[in-house]
Structure 1
Amino acid sequence: MRTAVVTDSAAALPAAYVSGLPPDGILTVTPMPVMVGAEIYGEGEDDILETIAVALAAGTPVKTSRPSPGQFEQAYRAAELRGFDGIVSVHISGELSGTADAARLAAGRVGIPVDVVDTRTVGMAQGLAVQAAVEAASAGAGRSEVAAAAAAQAENTHVFFYVPSLEQLRRGGRIGAAASLLGTMLAIKPILAVDGGRIVPLENVRSAARAVARLEEIVVAAAAPQPDDSVVLAVHHFGNQEEAAGLAARLEAALPGCLPAQISSLPAVLAAHAGLGVLAVIVGRSAQVHGGGGPS
């Protein structure tokens, strides 16, 4: 049985990983729409993060939306035409987006069987679940096994990120105006996490340097209960790729034997709410994931 994997662009998969897959179409990445002012873009367009950065600096509203059920239906039918017998569709947390719901609607419209996995996470935590699914599918696993591999990887992966400014979180309704003003006055730099599918506050730190250092400590502590050779890392950036590369190098040094960190841009669904200068770290067990990708 041949199983295909479909995901959305919130998985933030490194370009090197996607381009390195076999040409049989085992993986399809469906772009999430990004609305900048009155314009609609597809996440994954080369300049989308630059467009978002300019918009945020100018105070232009930036929003993200789920792909339409029709987009997923098209992806599922295309996989069937390529000779696949089943599909596992792996998606961003249902608490952050209606993407998994759109995938379920599409699944009911096609003849090929589709299992939809709500990872209850985002970014490369979702991406690692996608990679686990692709690896299982490539090894000949059946649809239920591929879905289980994705779900297990997501369950054992954590997301932590540092936000240099509270302003964009305020604009997006993640915090109130009073909290934003107080945070700015006190120079608070929040560290956030994804828990139960939602973005939640973890700690408040009083300087950027200390916030990044504390982020490193949190990640190392999260990895500590696991053998070094089972640790997998990914780092996201938004306008600060060199800083992300430095953070990745320090984490690799602190966790000898871990797999090379995969580095990629922050997905637009987070960039739109968090703003420029964000650093996000994903840490988990390697499970079925092998190999790394370069910066993208």
Structure 2
Amino acid sequence: MSVVVLTDSSARLPAGLRDTWAIREVPLHILLDGADLRDGVDEIPADIYHCHATTAAATPAELDAAYRQALADSDGDGVVAVHISSGLSGTHRAAELTAAGIGPAVRVVDSKSAAMGTGFVVLAAARAAAAGSDLDAVARAAQEAVGRTYAFMVVPRLDNLRRSGRIGGAKAWLGTALSLKPVLRIDDAGRLVLAQRVRTVKHAMAAMIDRVCEVVGDGPAAVAVHHVANSGGAAEVTAGLAQRLPACEPAIVTDLGPVLAVHVGAGAVAVCLHVDE
């Protein structure tokens, strides 16, 4: 067999990519009105970002079952599990504890990112596994990809961020004027932090595009654009990036998913990228 690569539903990997690279997925959870809803499994309200919902990590039981099945299917070659940043979710810690209970054949990698920021790390591992690399090499491919992955986001409204506990250093700026349109980034520690304060959404989107282009430069990079109920904004950002980054392949465009939407709210647009060596 070969090493099996696994992630969680926050990675926002399109189904076609998951199928092509044989990537497995465990669900994160949304807690709403006493119900425990599994992302990607259960029906979740389309406007979940307007609800007073909370999110939860994948459960130890789910992780244990997924890891043990993947290990069995690998014929002992091993499992590499890449999860959402430990700075944003408890999933990584639960994954480490679960893997420790199974043994060294299950390796857990902290993507230090979210959405396709995690997805690009997962893809790096999956490509190494498909090429026949052993467990150490597949885990190393994932770890190396972490350092070449970046994520930025524009959030038009601050309501969801105020309710969220996932924003690093938020107290210094969340209390400012409601007209503030923050450009956020995921830092090297995997935390969502303020990158820039802009007064209009239009200027914030332009500032995010500028920051992405600064990171990419003239070389190739894999790019993904996500949104929460803002397909028009995502299309504008995608077009702007395509014009300024001709060396890059067309961006993957998907919604940000319900788990992340709960924390950032409607209108958010995010860009994740993986820069080649």
Cα displacement (A) at 1:181: 5.5
1:152–1:205 Cα change, 3 Å: same
Q: How far off its partner does 1:235 sit?
A: 0.7
**CA distance in 1 between partners of 2:175 and 2:87 (Å):** 27
Q: Distance in 2 between matches of 1:221 and 1:8?
A: 30
| Aligned-partner residue type, residue 28 of structure 1 | R
Question: CA-to-partner distance for each residue in 1:2-36, whole Å, 9 max, x for gaps?
Answer: 10011111111123322444xxxx42100101112
Q: Does 1:263 align with 2:257?
A: no
Whether the aligned pair in 1 keeps the contact of 2:225 and 2:270 (CA below 8 Å) is yes
Query: Are the counterparts in 2 of residues 11 and 267 from structure 1 also a CA contact under 8 Å?
Result: no
What's the CA shift for 1:69? 1.6
Distance 2:207 2:74 in 1: 48
Task: Name the residue aligned to 1:291.
Answer: none
Instruction: Name the counterpart of 2:185.
Output: 193
CA contact (8 A) 2:78 2:106 kept: yes
Q: State which of 129, 136, 141 in structure 1 corresponds to 2:128.
A: 136
State TM-score, norm by structure 1.
0.85
Q: Return the alpha-carbon distance in structure 1 between the equivalents of residues 8 and 132 of structure 2.
A: 23
Matches within 5 A, 1:113-128: 113-128=105-120
Call closer, same or farther: CA 1:46–1:239 in 2, change over 3 Å.
Answer: farther
Letter paired with 2:33: G
SS at match of 2:176: helix
Q: Which residue of 2 aligns with 1:290?
A: none
Q: Secondary structure at the match of 1:276?
A: coil
Q: CA–CA distance in 1 between the matches of 2:248 and 2:45?
A: 29
CA displacement at 1:46 relative to structure 2? 7.3
One of 88, 91, 99 as aligned partner of 2:80: 88
Runs (5+) with no aligned partner, structure 1: 288-296
Amino acid in structure 2 at the alignment position of 1:257: A
- Which deviations, in whole Å up to 9, do the C-alpha atoms of 1:174-224 show, x marking residues without a partner? 445x9546321xx11000000021111011111111111111111111111
Counterpart of 1:96 in structure 2: which amino acid?
L
In structure 1, C-alpha distance between the alignment counterparts of 2:43 and 2:267, rounded to whole Å: 17
Using structure 2 for the length normalisation, give the TM-score: 0.91
For the residue of structure 1 that corresponds to 2:101, the secondary structure is coil
Residue matched to 1:182: 176
- Counterpart in 2 of 1:254? 244
- Name the residue aligned to 2:229: 239
8 Å CA contact 1:64–1:268 kept in 2: the answer is no
| Whole-Å separation in 2 of the counterparts to 1:262 and 1:11 | 13
Distance 1:201 1:94, change over 3 A: same
Q: Deviations over 1:135-189 (max 9, x none)?
A: 000000011111111111121111110000111111224445x9546321xx110
Question: Which segments of 5 or more consecutive residues in structure 2 lack a partner in the other structure?
Answer: none
Question: 2: distance between equivalents of 1:200 and 1:180?
Answer: 11
SS at match of 1:190: strand
Q: Which amino acid is 1:118 matched to?
A: D
Q: Who is 2:56 aligned against? A: 65
CA distance in 1, matches of 2:13, 2:153: 17
- The match for 1:43 is 39
Name the Cα RMSD after superposition. Answer: 2.0
Q: What is the distance in 1 between the residues matched to 2:249 and 2:136? A: 27
**C-alpha separation between the residues in 1 aligned to 2:29 and 2:265?**
18
Q: Which amino acid is the alignment partner of residue 3 of structure 1?
A: V
Retained in 2: the 8 A contact 1:76–1:112? no
Select which of 158, 166, 169 maps to 2:158.
Answer: 166
Q: Is the 8 A contact 1:132 1:149 kept in 2?
A: yes
Q: How many residue pairs were aligned? A: 272
Conserved 8 A contact 1:80-1:112: no
What is the deviation of 1:284? Answer: 2.5
Distance 1:80 1:284, change over 3 A: closer
Q: Is the 8 A contact 1:90 1:118 kept in 2?
A: yes
In structure 1, the partner of 2:275 is: 285
Distance across 1 between alignment mates of 2:164 and 2:72: 41
- The Cα shift of 1:112 comes to 7.1
- In structure 2, distance between residues paired with 1:251 and 1:144: 35
Cα distance change of structure 1 residues 46 and 98 upon mapping to structure 2, 3 Å threshold: closer
